[in-house]
Amino acid sequence: MTRKVRVRFAPSPTGALHIGGVRTALYNYLFARQHGGDMLLRIEDTDSTRFVPGAEEYIIEALQWLGIEIDEGIGAWSKKDGAKTHDLCGQYGDKGPYRQSERREIYHRYVNQLLESGNAYYAFDTPEELEAKRQEVPNFQYDAHTRGTMCNSLTLPQEEVDRRIKAGEKYVVRFKVEPDEDIHVNDLIRGEVVINSNIIDDKVLYKSADDLPTYHLANIVDDHLMEVSHVIRGEEWLPSAPLHVLLYRAFGWSDTMPEFAHLPLLLKPDGNGKLSKRDGDRLGFPVFPLEFHNQKDGTVSSGYRESGYFPEAVINFLALLGWHASGDQEMFSMDELIQQFSLERVSKSGAKFDYEKGRWFNHQYLQLRSDEELARLFMPVLEKKLDSSVYQNVNIEKVAQIIGLVKDRVNFVPELWEQACFFFEAPMEYDEKSLKKRWKEDSPKHLTELSELLSSVSDEDWTRKNLKEDGTTEWLLDTVVMPWIAEKEYGVGVVMNAFRICLVGAARGPHIWAITDILGKQETLRRIDTALRLI
């Protein structure tokens, strides 16, 4: 039986979407698209105490930015015919609602089913009592061997159970796990995993305190009802997969149980352990797609988008952290990923987060963007850096031209400023190291003469380029200045570097005639003049 591929990404709205979660979403998306299936987004908000305002919106916006499209569920409102609402978190689909907190009645029904079939029971032990038990008995586990000593519907008379429930006493419903059974889970990435039911405790499925199920129950019920065919999630879920298999069986849904694929974890770049927000702060890189202002604890987390990353670079980078095509290809568009992705080629071991490679990917994608587009993206940076009177006169075509000269040396759009600032404002000071190395005793004399020489060049010739016999071009200014240097027997490097310092403020930057071309004759001469006075 081949059934329609339907996968889900099911985050909980407890804060910004972690980059590992983004990768999980990506792999789900690639798998769905490759098989012509559906990508659902379901919000798992069964822990009312951990809800963070804005987290849902954040998740939708992040996926949108990255180009991971939702077909059904939360955030799929745009799929609606003539969608009137632009509610970011609106939902679409005939298997909703897609927010677990809105599915209470559904869960009631299935909790009762388990209760009636004898697969679950009521338990009245308070959190304090359980905590005390754990203190008293090392490695205490609520299971077949201990449930008989606890306070639940298996040990209490029926009337007592009814009385407690009627009195509004807080209770939970626990899953009754039978001991001594080897449970087989087939994982698409790892193969068969076998776990004995003895090590699984009687998991809480439902808590009356907030009238909500726990993850385990909600997850199984929803995946079944939403006809999910493949569960692709992080490796941290592998230990509870056997429990899920048991739940499917208890419901009588074994035949349509989804296939499982547990993804390797994203690890810290240094040392060991899961990648966390703290690692990003400590090592200076984002671990979230977008900047996030947590209204609950007031913290602000940096994001890839705000750091100047292109979404396609983040996608490419993430895709290769745990998955690899058979060849040596490094650059993949989303379409190529959809075509080539396969769960069989996902690695089994955790991947240390190689932030440097992320930078490299962004560099590659930045080179692919046109100068005009980069200019548009760079304008806001300029607006911030420049005096408003200066910014008013900035010409975007000129910006594009400048970007064409310097883009190959940056990884991010904001870095363009460091490479191009001298095109917009004359140097205010001169780099100490450059001066020491490149400013010679004769430099003032050279520059005075050079200034005179350049003054004699007409405005028209200033920007002229000649076509040489070999097909390359050369700046006309080159044919003016080089012979002069040769005639005077000055060193080319000595003159040109001092000249460069006048224009740039340091010994760096693109070809010098490309700079003078953009600066223009007047500004060039002015900068030489200024430098001669200041240095």
Partner RNA sequence: GGUGCUAUCGUCUAGUGGCCUAGGACAACGGCCUCUCACGCCGUAAACCCCGGUUCGAGUCCGGGUAGCACUACCA
- Out of 102, 211, 354, 383, which residue is the one contacting RNA (CB under 7 A)? 354
Q: Cβ(82)–Cβ(323) under 8 Å? A: no
Query: 391 vs 320, 368, 385, 425, CA distance in Å?
Result: 41, 27, 9, 11
Q: Does 130 bind RNA (CB under 7 A)?
A: yes
CB of 43 within 8 A of CB of 56? yes
Q: How far is the CB of 24 from RNA (least distance, A)?
A: 11
* Least distance (Å) between residue 271 CB and RNA: 7
Nearest to 229 by CA among 22, 37, 10: 37
DSSP state of 364: H
**Binding span for RNA by CB under 7 A among 30-38, 62-70, 83-91, 509-517:** 509-517
Between 61 and 222, whose beta carbon lies closer to RNA?
222
Nearest of 207, 7, 175 to residue 104 by alpha carbon: 207
Query: Interface with RNA includes 513 (CB under 7 A)?
Result: yes
Is 37 a residue that touches RNA (CB under 7 A)?
A: no
Looking at the DSSP bridge assignments, the partners of residue 183 are 195
Show the site string, 372-411: x = touches RNA by CB under 7 A, - = not.
------------------------------------xx--
Bin 79: left if φ > 0, else alpha if -120 < ψ < 50, else beta.
alpha
Instruction: Please state, in angstroms and rounded to a whole number, the distance separating the CA atoms of residues 318 and 321.
Output: 5
Q: Which of 15, 20, 258, 264 binds RNA (CB under 7 A)?
A: 264
133 binds RNA (CB under 7 A): no
Q: Which of residues 3, 108, 184, 345 is near RNA by CB under 7 A?
A: 345
Please enumerate in sequence order all residues whose Cβ is within 8 A of that of 491, keeping only pairs 6 or more positions apart, or say none: 485
Which residues are 120's β-sheet partners?
175
Contact between 289 and RNA per CB under 7 A: no
Q: What length is written for the chain?
A: 535
Site string for RNA, 158-187 (x = CB under 7 A): ------------x-x---------------
Considering the complex, state which of residue 61 and residue 279 has its C-beta at the smaller distance from RNA.
279
Quick note: the x/- pattern for RNA over 188-217, rule CB under 7 A, is --xx-xxxx--x-x--x--x-x--x-xxx-
Contacts of 164 (CB under 8 A, 6+ apart): 124, 156, 171
Catalytic residue ranges: 277
- Let me know the angle formed at the C-alpha of 122 by 119 and 128, rounded to the nearest 5 degrees: 130
Interaction between residue 288 and RNA (CB under 7 A): no
Residue 46 found at the interface with RNA (CB under 7 A): yes
When asked if residue 350 is in the footprint of RNA (CB under 7 A), the reply is yes
- Cβ of residue 521: shortest distance to RNA, in angstroms? 17
| By the rule CB under 7 A, 497 interacts with RNA | yes
Please list every residue from 456 through 485 that binds RNA, using CB under 7 A. Answer: none
Residue closer to RNA (CB basis): 360 or 417: 360
Contact in structure between 207 and 237 (CB atoms under 8 Å) = no
Q: In what order do the strands lie in the sheet with 204-207?
A: 120-123, 172-175, 204-207, 212-213
231: β partners: 260
Q: Which of residues 230-249 bind RNA (CB under 7 A)?
A: 235-240
Q: Is 347 in the site for RNA (CB under 7 A)?
A: yes
The stretch near RNA (CB under 7 A) out of 5-13, 380-388, 394-402, 461-469 is: 5-13
Q: Which pair of tokens denotes residue 15?
A: 């804060």
